[in-house]
Amino acid sequence: MNTIQRVKQGEQFQKTGCSACRESAFLVPFSMAFQPIVDFEAGKLFAYEALVRGVNGESAFSVLSQANDENRYALDQQCRVKAIELGASLSLPDTGAYLSINFYPNAVYEPAACLRKTLETASRVGFPLDRLIFEVTEGEKVRDHEHLNHILREYRAQGFKTAIDDFGAGYAGLNLLAKFQPDILKIDAELTREIDKRPVSQTIVRAIQQVSEALNIQTIAEGIETPAELSALRDLGLRYFQGYHFARPGFESLPSCSDSGIA
């Protein structure tokens, strides 16, 4: 399905979609920071994750803490639009990297309908649809796992990559993985922190890596801050990394990882 067909499909759902999709609003202004994810083995950027910030660079909490059941859909939609628009203005597609966007599964009513604004925005600013990743955090308590599976299947059918964020720290864990296999698992920073000194964490991450390889899933280690952590994770077979060791999030900018030998 090409971009025009997808936009037309979104327009069809707009006509029949629920009133919450059309009427909700999130009135708190915000912007985005971008943090690189690196392919260490290839020595290049893999993706940039879009992270919510206040308009002056304030923390994500300053924005997300104001979300509730009435405005969560609007925030989810506006975050997608802001990430794609800002990423395009910064020429992110020219880097060859993916743009990774977090989403609220509890805010998505009908996956195909709720993608309409995403598709329209990408088409308007010329952002390639096949360079988008959608991350769902395992840390959010999902009210309906079958609904989440429906969302992820629809996103995959549209050609997007899907990811489970903060894997190993949330509510679903292996139960979610047994029901749906995403393209990417992002291993939570609590498991990777000081992993060079923690044999138990090494055993757990090794097991996650082995399961992921068997299921043809890419793994990304989050929260990497030291060369020792990176070395330990490389020994466990990981190749994709994110964390302050490579770069801090850049407010409305795309940080370079050249100091780490990443092009």
Q: What is the pLDDT of residues 163-219, one digit of tens each?
A: 999 888 765 578 778 888 899 999 999 999 999 999 999 999 999 999 999 999 999
pLDDT at 7: 39
- 6's enclosing H/E stretch is helix 3-16
| Across 26-38, average pLDDT | 94
Measured in residues, the chain has a length of: 263
Q: Are 58 and 87 in contact (CB under 8 A)?
A: no
E-state strands within 154-248: 161-167, 184-187, 218-221, 240-242
Q: Are 250 and 57 in contact (CB under 8 A)?
A: no
Alpha carbon distance 73, 184 (integer Å): 24
What homologous superfamily does CATH list for 3-255?
EAL domain (3.20.20.450)
> Which positions ≥6 away from 178 have C-beta within 8 Å?
none
User: Which amino acid is located at 125 in the chain?
Assistant: V
Cα 259 to Cα 40, 41, 224, 241, 255: the distances in Å are 13, 16, 15, 15, 11
pLDDT exceeds cutoff 50 at 14: no
